[in-house]
Amino acid sequence: MRNGAEVYLKRGAGKYSGKKAATSRAPRVLLRLVLVSIAVALVCSFTCEDPYKTNPDLVLLLANEGHYPFNPVVSSDGRLVYFLDDTSGRSGPPFDVGLQGDLRVFDFSDSTVRLLLSGRFYRLALSKDGLRLAVAVRNPAICRDSTLLLVLDAAASSIESLHVSHAETMWLPWGLEFSWDGRELIFDIWPDSADNTTYFYSIELEQDTVARLFLQLPWHQTGFDVFAEDSIYADSSAKCEPAVNPKYPRWVVFASKKVTWLSYRWMLHDRQNGTVESYGSGTRPLGKGFIGGPSWTPDGNGLLFVAGRRTGPSGQPYAQLELWLLKNAAEYLPDSR
């Protein structure tokens, strides 16, 4: 672990100043992990079949050719999965190709999918009580010093448009989350400048559309998680779409590219010890390809995510992205075995 930040939302704006974890054994451990990862990747590229064929906990929920579901979020009662769906023909991991699409919902009871709202949305958030959704709108006509957000009820029958201004010219938000009480929206964003900085803004939904800068981190963070009454998880050990397990908050799952073949695997960040390790064996469905967008079920026992199979040496294009569920996901965590 290099630097980490778990901040309370009400703290004032400022720059992060963190302690570095002990690193006396880190170089040797890291070298061993790299060597083992290379060896495993080389062997599996020739001998390993797709893990979903041998692991019944991996369940394919949705697969439609030409569809690229991304950013899945599980409802507070665990019955629905809200997600964004790109059907424009783009191919590749969501953050690499800038996926954008409609807002849809998957129902676990009958495996049906409904369209909630058409648009060019690229980030999605759900309030903790499950009553409100928010999406970030991709609109080139809007200046880079502002962000367009839509806040709607779970049935998309009531929609509020927020044109949020922020101080600097920025890239589009990488992450979007409701505060614990649902009164604020939080997003992280990168400046146009070349420095490796991530700015965190919040906006009070019942007040105005002026975003409040409350945190700066000295690295590029792609997504974050809000847990435990507005504690915000963002750590340089888990920069891409981290998800804190609600049952075992010690553990944070995130996706990382493997050392070889540019395939992805699940990793765990131990918030207690500051270490990173692989998240179990056979927890990704495909032997080679993309995984991302992790979202825990409310009970912490299931993990929703998207996956895509490689179709060529370069890994592009993906014929589709698929929506998957890892059942009994908590059993793969070290402190639940």
**How many whole angstroms separate alpha carbon 103 and alpha carbon 118?**
6
Q: Where are the domains of the chain?
A: 4-336
Task: Please give the DSSP secondary-structure letter assigned to residue 22.
Answer: P
Q: Which helix (H) or strand (E) holds 271?
A: none
* pLDDT digit string, tens, across residues 221-237: 888 999 887 789 998 88
pTM of the model: 0.84
3-state secondary structure (DSSP) of residue 262:
coil
Give 13 or 292, the one with higher predicted confidence: 292
Give the mean model confidence (pLDDT) for residues 315-332: 82
283 pLDDT tier (thresholds 50, 70, 90)? very high
Give 121 or 13, the one with higher predicted confidence: 121
CATH architecture for the domain at 4-336 = 6 Propeller (2.120)
3-state secondary structure (DSSP) of residue 259:
coil
Q: Do 170 and 154 touch, CB atoms closer than 8 A? A: no
Considering 14-23, 210-219, 269-278, the range whose residues carry the highest mean pLDDT is: 269-278
